[in-house]
Amino acid sequence: MRIVDNIIGKEVVNNEATILGKAVDVEVDTTTNILESLIVTNQSESDDKHEKIRIPFEEVLRIGDKILIKDPLENGTL
């Protein structure tokens, strides 16, 4: 899927320029082929664990060099 290849590995930031992590996967509804969620991993500085965050795709504002999402505190999605 060409669009997925354009997403994976990009840095994800919110609209306040806070880096949330990197896109590592997407969830796709296989019946409609619609992107449902963006899976983002961030590395905890304290213990080197990778935590995954699921972000609903409707929270994505723009995909360019980075992926810009809405402020998570505005709507409580994260």
What residue segments make up the domains of the chain, in order of their start?
A: 2-72
Give the model's pLDDT for residue 48: 63
For β-strands 60-63 and 19-29, DSSP reports them as unpaired
Residue pair 38/60 in contact by the 8 Å Cβ criterion = yes
| Amino acid present at 32 | T
Give the model's pLDDT for residue 9: 94
Is domain 2-72 in CATH 2.130.10.10, yes or no?
A: no
pLDDT along the chain (78 residues), means of 10: 83 91 94 93 66 92 94 53
- The string of pLDDT tens digits covering residues 40-55 is 998 555 556 678 989 9
46, two tokens: 């304290």
Give the model's pLDDT for residue 25: 94
Give the model's pLDDT for residue 44: 54
